[in-house]
Structure formats: C-alpha cells, structure tokens
Amino acid sequence: MRIFERVRPVSGMGRPGVAGMRRTGMRLAATALCLTLLAGCSDRPGPEALTPTTAKAPGAREHVILVASTRERDPRPGVIFNGERSTALNFAKVDLSVPPAHKPGEIEWPKKGTGDPATDMVVHEAIYRDTQQDFLRDMKSELARRPAGQKKVFIFVHGYNTQFSEALYRLAQMAHDADAPAVPVLFTWASRATTEAYVYDNNSATAARDNLEDTIRLAFGSGADEVSIMAHSMGNWVTVEALRQIRISGKPVPQNKVGNIILAAPDIDVDVFKSQLKRFGKPAKPFVVIVSRDDKALGFSEFIAGKKQRLGEYSNDAELVDLGAVVVDMTDVKALDSFNHGKFAQLAEMAPQLRGSVLRGETPGDASASSHGALQGVRISGLDRLRQQPPTQQAAAAVAGEPSTPAPAPAAQ
C-alpha cells in the first residue's frame, strides 16, 4: 500500500507549492480515514478474553480447536498468541465452549475478566504444542472421535486487523452454527490488529505462505478423508498463494481428498486473482467465492489499492464462473456488522436451508427457491458445474462452509 507520495514542486521552485501540499494532505487524510474505517471493529475483546475458566454451564457446548500460528507465543494470561511474527510455526490445542443462549452469527465475548460459560464463549484449557508431530497427533486423535465418513478437517484463515482471540472465537462460532463434523483448525498469521498496521499485516500474510502450505500438508497427512479451507478478507491472499505454491511444487496433495476451497470477501486484486487461476488452470472442483457488493471494508481497500476492484466486490459473476468458481452473492443479506464485511459467518446458520434448496434442484434466487422463504437473499451462480459432481449436497455444503463428500478423483496434476 502506498501511503506517502512525492509532492511535485511548483515549476522553478525547490519545494512544494501550497496547492501541492494541500492535495497531498487531503490524500493522506483520506487514506488515514480509509484505514480507520477498514478495521470495522468498534467493540473488541480485551486482553483477558481467553482467560481459562474451570466453570461449566448446563447446555453450553464444548469444542476443540487446533491452532497453527506464525504469531509469537505470549505468556500473559488470556492472550496465548500476540501479533508479532514468530521465526517458527507454533501450535496449540484449545478447549472452549459456546453458551446455551448463543445467537447464530454472533460471538458472545466475555464481558470482563474471566467469562461466564452460561452467557459467554470461554476457554477452558489452552495447551501449546511444541512440534508438528504433536499437532498431527492431536489432529489424528480428534479425527478418531468422528464416525466413519465424517473424518474431515476444516481450516480457517482469518483476515486483516484480527486479534488471535477474534479469530479463535470466530471459528468456534462457525463450527457451532454449522454443526459440521469436521475438525476445526485455525491457521492464524501475525496480525497486529491495529488500523495503522495494514502494511505490516499484508507482509505478515505474505510471509506466512510457506507455513500455511506446511499446515495444509499436515492436514492431508493426518488420515482425514477430506480437507476443506475457508479464508476471509486478506487471509485469501496467503491462502491462494499457498495453494498456488502447492500446485507448482510438483508435490500435489491427494486430489480425491480436496474438499471445498471457500474464499470469503476476498481482499485480492481481481487481476491478481485471474493470473493466479490461469496458473492453476480451471480447478476440477470450483472455488467458492463469497461476494457482497455493499462491502464497505473492501470498498476502502479498493481506494487504498489505487481504485483496483477487490475480488470480494466483483460484479461479473459469469466471468468468475467461467474461470472456475461458484459465486455466492450475499449483497441482499442483512449483515450483523456495520461494514457488511462479516456476512460469510452467517452462512453457517443457513447450511440446512441451502442444502435443502440444492437437493430440491433449485437455484437460489429463482422463483421456486424464493417461494420457500429460506435463503434470505443469498444468490448463487455456477451451481451447474457442481451438480455434475455427485452427490448434489456437495454444493450446499460448499456455500455453507461445511466440508463435503469427496468428489471422484480427477487426473493427477
């Protein structure tokens, strides 16, 4: 991102003119405003949000989330990982619970200090793992708890300006709302979680490409039947880059175990994405791209990026479908956040409705689908390609953020 630019001097003078300084000042002010608005976070968790508690509550549902992180470990109680970059990939296992009165799409933050499991999402235990082998052992143990046919892994990669606690609880919310059987794995890169750290965050995401590739390969090496990935916002940059690295490495992952690749509100230059897909070739199973044309955060990102449109607000669905994507348009969905940037998290609750629509052979947004009143503004383009791959519920699982039943293995690439 280019924040400062050279001011051209007035002809015949060695320093900027008043008009030039004013223009530059306006640009800097606009950029600062955009960075502030891009964050889109008013109420954020405090440093104690992950303070463990031994308290239990009737009806609270427990989840285990495995963590791979390029963040530094942080010894402060309730922090676990901070926003600085680690020289090595770190791992952890977190046991937490979601309160019985949880509202779909929402995160019930601990109000202050140690949370109450009756009303808040809370951590019960967080344990660092020292090696890849320890992390892999945890993953195999969690998979062993799943019944046959449901031994799946779901990797979530968060976006810009995100605290570790925010990423952890967001994944817990999605796993809980979707009621998906997959083992939830959080890949969290080093975000300083401040508006002025946009460049630092972008560089941190780029630096995490190799580590995400390692994490993906570990998931495929766990014995899982299927591995799916969802990335949000800037997390799409590191995700697509890691997948591109795998594609050109000469060491592909087992194609029959590739689940859904879900790109939610991707903060990627559309031209860059097109060039990445050209390198991939048209994928055997389409990427799922979640867009919203009223995403204010991506609008500001577009401004910062020299008015280059971001993939998450792109309006040419047909072109994306032709490149090898299923497009999930959430423009008409009422957001829970004021910047319309977190709509993807609401899809988890819609999973059964979306699944039923596809099984009935309906395209969301058409007359027959809307007559059921279940899709709440979600429109999907490109389902025909997914319907060519049995079973048909694969498409519904994809847009809902759930892992799907493996498709037939394509030829080795």
Task: Determine, yes or no, domain membership for 106.
Answer: no
Say which CATH number the domain at 180 has: 3.40.50.1820
Task: Determine, yes or no, domain membership for 352.
Answer: yes
Task: Determine, yes or no, domain membership for 18.
Answer: no
Parent domain of 373:
135-400
Q: Which of 14-23, 86-95, 263-272 has the lowest mean pLDDT?
A: 14-23
DSSP string, 129-178: E-SHHHHHHHHHHHHHTSPTT--EEEEEE--SS--HHHHHHHHHHHHHHH
Question: Does residue 359 have a pLDDT over 50?
Answer: no
Can you give the pLDDT at residue 411?
Answer: 31
What whole-number distance in Å separates Cα of residue 317 and Cα of residue 377?
16
Task: Determine, yes or no, domain membership for 251.
Answer: yes
pLDDT in tens, 364-383: 444 333 333 335 788 888 87
pLDDT in tens, 125-156: 999 999 999 999 999 999 999 999 999 999 99
Question: Does residue 228 have a pLDDT over 90?
Answer: yes
Task: Determine, yes or no, domain membership for 14.
Answer: no
Pairing type for strands 258-264 and 226-232 reads parallel
Question: Does residue 399 have a pLDDT over 50?
Answer: no
Cβ neighbours, 10 Å, residue 314: 20
Task: Determine, yes or no, domain membership for 381.
Answer: yes
Can you give the pLDDT at residue 367?
Answer: 35
pLDDT in tens, 72-122: 999 998 899 999 999 999 999 999 999 999 999 999 999 877 899 999 999
What whole-number distance in Å separates Cα of residue 410 and Cα of residue 413?
8
On whether the CB atoms of residues 185 and 226 are closer than 8 A, the answer is: no
Can you give the pLDDT at residue 14?
Answer: 45
Q: How many domains does the chain have?
A: 1
pLDDT in tens, 282-328: 777 889 999 999 999 898 888 888 888 999 999 888 898 888 888 99
Model-level pTM? 0.82
Can you give the pLDDT at residue 182?
Answer: 96
Question: Does residue 242 have a pLDDT over 90?
Answer: yes
Can you give the pLDDT at residue 122?
Answer: 97
Task: Determine, yes or no, domain membership for 255.
Answer: yes
> Per 3-state DSSP, what percentage of the chain is helix, strand, and coil (rounded to 5)?
35, 20, 40
Mean pLDDT of the chain, nearest integer: 81
Task: Determine, yes or no, domain membership for 283.
Answer: yes
